């Protein structure tokens, strides 16, 4: 598993090992030299050494803001690295599971995005680079390919700060009585990280493209901020509605009937998940958000 030390990687590793899988974690945070997968010899060497049944590729530069900070690096980390991993998997003959994102659909407005639709052009470098990654996977490692289009996971392990998940930032801001900016009209269906990685595990032996997230819990970001205030005892007047920035998808609606076909159902609702996340946030060092 590449990106094994990241937010999703940490939770997915636990989900897989708890269900009888052996996971070999690969992450540049673990070994900056040998695990830099932008170098093709590294991925070839790792596959040759461990002989995996499947390569789960999570490693990426994640997020709209981080993607725009250095567009060339975003392309190298997402499109380029994924092409390198996919090429090695295809030539060696190892199936690939690629973690993509709902950002590849672009801005669909109120239209529900389903796996077989022709997506709009993503309107940020992150979404476009991940969509390029999907195409490289289809080009170089098409046999038994799995693509997960992950949408709005949240939970412990994702730190607060610039460019991070809005839920974590809102919990931190509310708990510290800081202003809570909310994008006007923004709407999401957040998915507890444990539910997200369980859907990934259930589909791991079934090639195809899957939306990973929820379609039954749409909520305004204003309401998310209010829940953060309720959990921390903060006043609602900390909430400041602002216009969404350029290249920000304001409304996300995803179809999830494919993962529900595996008897998957979400188990943790938004308020419960935010309360559990708040416990983790309170144990972290202060940050700038």
Rounded Cα gap, residues 194 and 101, in angstroms: 17
> Hey, what long-range contacts does 91-94 have (CB within 8 A, 24 or more apart)?
91/140, 92/44, 92/47, 92/48, 93/143, 94/47, 94/52, 94/53, 94/54, 94/55
Sign of CA dihedral 189, 128, 97, 13: negative
Domain assignments of the chain as residue spans, ordered by start: 7-281
| pLDDT grade for 162, boundaries at 50, 70 and 90 | confident
For the cut 80, the answer to whether the pLDDT of residue 63 exceeds it is no
Residue 25 predicted with pLDDT over 70: yes
Encode pLDDT of 187-209 as tens digits.
999 999 999 999 999 999 999 99
pTM: 0.94
Share of the chain above pLDDT 70, in %: 97
* 216 vs 123: which has the higher pLDDT: 216
pLDDT, averaged across the chain: 93
150 class by beta-carbon count within 10 Å (0-12 exposed, 13-18 middle, 19+ buried): buried
Q: What is the pLDDT of residue 65?
A: 66
Identify the CATH number of the domain defined by range 7-281. 3.40.50.720
In this model, does residue 211 exceed pLDDT 90?
A: yes
């Amino acid at each position: 598993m590449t990106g094994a030390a990241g937010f999703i990687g940490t939770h997915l590793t636990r989900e897989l090992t708890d269900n009888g899988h052996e996971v070999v974690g690969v992450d540049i945070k673990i070994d900056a030299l040998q695990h830099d997968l932008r170098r093709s010899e590294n991925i070839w060497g790792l596959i040759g050494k461990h002989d995996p049944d499947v390569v789960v590729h999570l490693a990426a530069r994640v997020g709209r803001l981080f993607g725009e900070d250095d567009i060339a690096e975003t392309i190298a980390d997402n499109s380029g690295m994924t092409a390198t991993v996919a090429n090695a998997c295809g030539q060696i003959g190892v199936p690939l599971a690629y973690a993509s994102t709902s950002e590849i659909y672009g801005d669909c407005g109120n239209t529900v995005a389903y796996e077989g639709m022709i997506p709009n052009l993503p309107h940020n470098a992150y979404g476009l680079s991940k969509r390029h990654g999907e195409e490289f996977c289809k080009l170089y490692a098409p046999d038994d390919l799995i693509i997960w289009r992950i949408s709005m996971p949240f939970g412990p392990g994702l730190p607060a700060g610039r460019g991070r998940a809005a839920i974590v930032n809102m919990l931190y801001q509310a708990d510290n009585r800081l202003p809570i900016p909310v994008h006007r009209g923004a709407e999401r269906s957040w998915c507890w990280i444990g539910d997200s990685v369980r859907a990934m595990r259930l589909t791991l032996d079934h090639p195809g493209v899957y939306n990973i997230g929820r379609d039954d819990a749409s909520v305004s970001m204003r309401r998310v901020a209010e829940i953060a205030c309720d959990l921390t005892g903060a006043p609602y007047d900390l909430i400041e509605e602002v216009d969404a920035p350029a290249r920000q998808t304001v409304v996300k609606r995803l179809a999830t009937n494919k993962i529900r076909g595996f008897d998957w159902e979400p188990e943790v609702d938004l308020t419960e998940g935010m309360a559990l996340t708040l416990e983790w946030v309170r144990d972290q060092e202060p940050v700038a958000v």
